[in-house]
Structure 1
Amino acid sequence: MVVKPVQTGIGGADPEPRDARTVERLTGVECRELVALDDPLAPDTAARRQGVALPPVSEHVGAVLELAADHDVVLVEGAGGLLVRLDTDGGTLLDLAVGLTEAAPPDVTVDVVVVARAGLGTLNHTALTVEALRDRGVEPLGLVVGAWPERPGLAETCNRDDLPRVTGVPVVAVLPAGSGSLAREEFVTTAPSWFVGQASQDDR
């Protein structure tokens, strides 16, 4: 099960592709959106413009743990960066991660994975994200580098090597640019090779 607590950008004449639908198309895994908002903005901004109140992060925590009771794995995807507000009370994705960690029953393991971009700026952004998690007592399991270009330049290549050194968190997967446009069979077949230790050195 994949859960998207808040999806924005679904309205207007040219709505953005909904993450949940993309995941369902690529994997066949059931996905659930808890809140959907029209404008392609941060959740609290989109909700304010739309005149709706967002449920508190604590409700998202309860909904995810309820799903975890009936599923082997529940993947929760954020909306923007770690400190983007998910509700009208100031609750953030960080609060959601902490809430799940603190409220999970003993038989449920909560792991946090940070998705990092490949290009310039990623060392600073990723280090700040990891620092914010650690300040709240959450140690990230790993980093996922997204949108890896077909022909990586010097910055991307160095960043891939430097991210673990700068953050102290291992890179666990590198996703190629355009992977979201693959057909389901190709995606499911190819995805395991994106995890570090599975890909050949040529894929670097």
Structure 2
Amino acid sequence: MSGRIVVVTGTDTGVGKTIATAALAVLARARGTVAVVKPVQTGIGDSGDDGTGADDEADAAVVRRLAGCAVHEFARLADPLAPETAARLRGVELPDIAHHADRIRALARESDTVIVEGAGGLLVRLDTANGTILDLADVLGAEVYVVCRAGLGTLNHTELTVRALRQRGIESAGLVIGAWPAGAGTAEQRNLDDLPRLTGVPVTGVLPDGAGLLGAAQFQQLAPAWLGG
């Protein structure tokens, strides 16, 4: 019997996917065993690492510190670029989507939940054969959460992401606002109402800006409330 597989994608880079992944992992840990996967990490370390030695700047290390769960990286690339771009720059052949899917399924046979954090947005290439996080979610039959911004521009970016998922027959499990500002204004407040109205997808989480700076104990205490758990 295999566990649940969740994919966390975003409307863009820097929207808060890593912190949202950590929060989802905390919620899942309350229900059973959890493993988090970062298929490709760029901008740090040497390519080909399995993630066991990720340092403090890596997304995997942030999730491990905040959520306290097992985290796996399948490939690492030194340049801070999209995975395909970084791989081509260095002449590295990345594992393809099928290979990632096999490894994720193996983890799902050992864990109640596996959470997969993508790189950048939904259509960013994860390999050198044009495979995307959308392809990976489709192959896995995963639940997909879309992390989005709170401010101006988020309606367009989020609706485009949701539409791309629907074109593949995938209905997003929820939208997560990755960083809600302390001084939220009219745009942010209206977007909170308009995002579910325009996309047809509920906002299932709102994470406060700076959540990733909290200590692990406080983060784990507060994360379920941010996700409505």
Q: Same fold (TM over 0.5)?
A: yes
Runs of 4+ with >3 A deviation: none
- Judging changes above 3 Å, is the alpha-carbon distance between structure 1 residues 32 and 11 closer, same or farther for their aligned structure 2 residues? closer
Q: Distance in 2 between matches of 1:27 and 1:136?
A: 31
More relative contact order in 1 or in 2 (CA 8 Å, sep 6+)? Answer: 2
Residue 93 of structure 1 pairs with residue 127 of structure 2: no
Q: Which amino acid aligns with 2:62?
A: T
Matched with 2:175 is 143
Give the superposition deviation at 1:119.
1.1
Residue 127 of structure 1 pairs with residue 127 of structure 2: no
- Judging changes above 3 Å, is the alpha-carbon distance between structure 1 residues 16 and 10 closer, same or farther for their aligned structure 2 residues? farther
Whether contact under 8 Å (1:7, 1:43) holds in the other structure is: yes
Per the normalisation by structure 1, the TM-score is 0.88
Return the structure number with greater strand share: 2
Q: Distance in 2 between matches of 1:37 and 1:19?
A: 13
Q: Which has the larger radius of gyration?
A: 1
CA RMSD of aligned residues (A): 1.5
Q: Distance in 2 between matches of 1:194 and 1:16?
A: 24
Q: Which amino acid aligns with 2:155?
A: L
Summarize the alignment of residues 155-170 of structure 1 with structure 2, pairs less than 5 Å apart.
155-170=187-202
SS in 2 for 1:36: strand
Q: Which amino acid aligns with 1:112?
A: V
Give the superposition deviation at 1:16.
8.4
Whether contact under 8 Å (2:107, 2:114) holds in the other structure is: yes
Residue 2 of structure 1 pairs with residue 42 of structure 2: no
Task: Structure 2: give runs of 5+ residues left out of the alignment.
Answer: 1-34, 47-54
Query: For each residue in 1:124-171, what CA deviation from the matched residue of structure 2 results, as whole angstroms up to 9, or x when unmatched?
Result: 111011000010011111100111111111111111111000100000
Q: What is the identity percentage for the equivalent residue pairs of Structure 1 and Structure 2?
A: 58
Q: Which amino acid aligns with 1:125?
A: H
Whether contact under 8 Å (1:86, 1:93) holds in the other structure is: yes
Q: Distance in 2 between matches of 1:45 and 1:94?
A: 18
Give the superposition deviation at 1:179.
0.7
Residue 116 of structure 1 pairs with residue 156 of structure 2: no
Task: Structure 1: give runs of 5+ residues left out of the alignment.
Answer: 102-109, 199-204
Residue 172 of structure 1, aligned match among 195, 204, 223:
204
Per the normalisation by structure 2, the TM-score is 0.79
What is the aligned length?
187
Q: Distance in 1 between matches of 2:208 and 2:200?
A: 23
Q: Distance in 1 between matches of 2:145 and 2:166?
A: 13
Give the superposition deviation at 1:63.
0.7
SS in 1 for 2:143: coil
Matched with 2:84 is 44
